[in-house]
Structure 1
Amino acid sequence: MPVLTPSRPLDPDGPSLITKAKAAALLSVNERTVERMIEDGRLAVRRVGPLVRIDVADLDRAVSIGARTNGGAA
């Protein structure tokens, strides 16, 4: 699975809202890491009824900000 980076965004024809598990897979991190990103405000979520979804644009933005503040590490 490709890693989401500022230079390798998701397929523009793909879904715009993804699960925490999908976000974790794209970032090559544990789902708990994505949950911490949500808890500390680095990543916004959308609620679809009882479901929590992450907008791909928000995920891309969080990765871009992380890359700039962590010296290139996402």
Structure 2
Amino acid sequence: MAAVGEPEEWAYLDHAVLRPSRSAKVCITCRHFSYEVSRSCVTLLTCPVHQALIGQGEQLTRRCRHWSARPPLASP
């Protein structure tokens, strides 16, 4: 999928890409998961790998085949 510009212009991921997950392996725990704030101050959940938006709430119950664990936080 080619870059389509700013995240505000991206389409939402469909259910063919995001599959249900009952484990901790969900979008919000993925190393690729990110979020942006739109010009109208709305939080947009994003997946830079797919260059697409994640529907509200789906970050907690779904994942794609590119899920990868976040690296552990460094200790001080």
TM-score range, shorter chain: 0.3 to 0.5
* Higher RCO structure (Cα 8 Å, ≥6 apart): 2
Counting strand residues as a fraction of each chain, which structure ranks higher? 2
TM norm structure 1: 0.35
Counting helix residues as a fraction of each chain, which structure ranks higher? 1
Largest Rg, 1 or 2: 2
